[in-house]
Amino acid sequence: MNPIPSSGERLPAVGMGTWRTFNVGGDQYLTDQRTEVLKTFFDLGGTLVDCSPMYGSAAEVMGEALDTLNAREKLFSASKIWTGDGDATRQQDRESRTKWGIERFDLQQVHNLVAWQQHLATLQQMKADGDVRYIGITTSHGRRHGDFARIMETEPLDFVQLTYNVLDREAEDRLLPLARERGIAVIVNRPFQGGRLFRRFQSNALPSWADEVGCRNWAEFFLKYILSHPAVTCAIPATTSVEHMKENMGALYGALPDEQQRRRMAAYVAGL
């Protein structure tokens, strides 16, 4: 469990993303399957689920899954504002809440800095009014890190969300140190590069010393590299598989690598 710096509230270090994976509205079989994935996530101690209006039917599917499981009390809900209309912040928040079936989001974020000045100002007022608990901004694929850092330096943020994994480590240079300096929680998206890390490396054996860093499979190896960075609060891998969810949640347990071991992990992957 890692603390949110602005409040001290603690979150499990592995959350769940929904990009692509929960965009299955209209297909009851796939919706039921995703509900089992969500049940496994909650059963193994997860709480933070992240979504966005950009993700097609994912919010509706999440709402149906939460209805089926009657599990909203287990949820730390995180969504995003994704519209170029800077006056539509509250409307989009309301639409997303309706789809999820919740009264307010725990976390609302400006997605990829779209119309961020207007949306962030409204989110700050919504937080002051008690209409959302935490606010933040997001980026992905390494985009706009300069703009992102300037906002982190000047705006009161509870969370930032960014891309970081054992190969994409640009965030180590500026954004992660800045988050620690400013007391901002960090959610990591694309921890597996959208699945590409598995496609690239899963045919290779784990290093002989993997047990020294508490890793029994590649999912734990990739996630523990991320979670061992002192600035990271939570990673949000996405999956359609119950078995893969179990592997992801395994990263919550056992040892985390120290700085020397992290360098060894990055070097091992780079050498494959």
pLDDT in tens, 164-206: 999 999 999 999 999 999 999 999 999 999 999 999 999 999 9
pLDDT in tens, 115-171: 999 999 999 999 999 999 999 999 987 778 999 999 999 999 999 999 999 999 999
| CB contact at 8 A, 162 and 149 | no
Q: What is the pLDDT of residue 143?
A: 79
In a domain, 255, yes or no: no
Q: What is the pLDDT of residue 26?
A: 86
Other Cβ atoms within 10 Å of 70 Cβ, number:
8
Q: What is the pLDDT of residue 119?
A: 98
In angstroms, the CA 92 to CA 210 distance is: 44
In a domain, 263, yes or no: no
In a domain, 272, yes or no: no
Any idea what the CATH number is for the domain that residue 35 is in? 3.20.20.100
Q: What is the pLDDT of residue 188?
A: 98
Answer yes or no: is pLDDT of 272 > 90: no
Maximum pairwise Cα distance, the chain:
55
| CB contact at 8 A, 157 and 127 | no
In a domain, 152, yes or no: yes
- Give which of 152, 168, 57 is closest to 113, Cα–Cα: 152
| Section 21-28 average pLDDT | 94
In angstroms, the CA 114 to CA 123 distance is: 13
| Mean pLDDT rounded to a whole number for the chain | 96
The two tokens of residue 68 are 């089926």
8: left (phi over 0), alpha (psi -120 to 50) or beta: left
Of the chain, the percentage scoring pLDDT greater than 70 comes to 100
In a domain, 229, yes or no: no
> In which domain, by residue range, is 134 found?
10-195+235-240
What's the number of domains the chain is made of?
1
Length of the chain: 272
In a domain, 218, yes or no: no
pTM above 0.95, yes or no: yes
Q: What is the pLDDT of residue 120?
A: 98
Q: What is the pLDDT of residue 85?
A: 95
In a domain, 210, yes or no: no
Residue with tokens 């893969």: 244
Q: What is the pLDDT of residue 142?
A: 77
In a domain, 265, yes or no: no
| Torsion sign (Cα): 148, 153, 155, 161 | positive
| CB contact at 8 A, 247 and 253 | no
Phi, psi of 181 (to 5 degrees): -65, -40
